[in-house]
Amino acid sequence: MTSKIMSSIKNRATPNDKIYTPLKVVDIMLDFCEYKEGQLVLEPARGLGAIYDKLKTPKEYCEIEEDKDYFDYHNKVDIVITNPPYSILDKFLKHTYTLCDKFCFLIGSYSLTPKRIEVMNSNGFYITKMLLTQIPSWFQRSYIIVCEKLDEEPNNIIFKSLNLGNKCLYCALPCGGMRGKNIKHCKRKSNENECHY
């Protein structure tokens, strides 16, 4: 069942890559990856700027809709932080391996496959920290993964999980699950940064 849903999402005529990270989750990502001011940081898929706007200079970004294609970007940076476009995740990961020694991605739990981890390791990168969460209204659970280029596989990985509940992270109305005639639900779509109530 799950693989059917995943396949239908992946094979849409127009992939739904415009899923913007809620600002509260951006704070969690930046804290979790131990991003430090002064590092040259790249947001390779800026979208509406949820992550980029919270980064300190020096910072750079790419965004295909502004004709700044990530695959044309070749500068070395200290860290890459993003919620990448799902439909080209492998290509995004592969390019990221060439630009930095550390990156932090927000990715769907179904996307963190053994094959992808194997390819990551063969490129010298290992997951050093991961945080499991469920972003309210998103289809699947998500991982924030921090990956670093290391000489060998680390003995330990820091693993955390964070329950964000099922209320909208912007307006605090229920995003689903709760039933009752007096319960109003948030109508925000995942490509919006505000709610309509």
Ligand X SMILES: C[S@@+](CC[C@H](N)C(=O)[O-])C[C@H]1O[C@@H](n2cnc3c(N)ncnc32)[C@H](O)[C@@H]1O
- What residue ranges bind ligand X (CB under 6 A)? 17-21, 44-47, 50-51, 62-65, 69-71, 82-83, 85
Nearest to 24 by CA among 176, 173, 136, 139: 136
CB 117 within 8 A of CB 145: no
- Of the pair 71, 197, the CB lying nearest ligand X is at 71
* CB 128 to ligand X: min, Å: 21
Nearer to ligand X, 107 or 120 (CB): 107
Considering the complex, state which of residue 19 and residue 117 has its C-beta at the smaller distance from ligand X: 19
Measured from the Cβ of residue 15, the count of other Cβ atoms closer than 10 Å reads: 13
Reference 131, options 116, 146, 110, 153; nearest CA is 146
Which H or E run contains 92? Answer: helix 89-97
Cβ-based nearer residue to ligand X, 75 or 156: 75
By three-state DSSP, how is residue 14 classified? coil
Cα separation, 101 vs 39, in Å, equals 12
Closer CB to ligand X, 106 or 127, in the complex:
106
Compute the least distance from the CB of residue 115 to ligand X, in Å: 21
Q: Which residue is nearest to ligand X (CB)?
A: 47
Cβ 178 to ligand X, closest distance in Å?
A: 26
DSSP bridge pairs for 68: 63
Q: How far is the CB of 190 from ligand X (least distance, A)?
A: 9
The whole-angstrom separation of Cα 187 and Cα 109 is 24
State the nearest-atom distance from the C-beta of 78 to ligand X, in Å. 18
Which residues on adjacent β-strands are paired with residue 132? 143, 161
Of the pair 50, 135, the CB lying nearest ligand X is at 50
Burial class (CB in 10 A: 0-12, 13-18, 19+), 117: middle
Give the C-alpha separation, 46 to 61, whole Å.
6
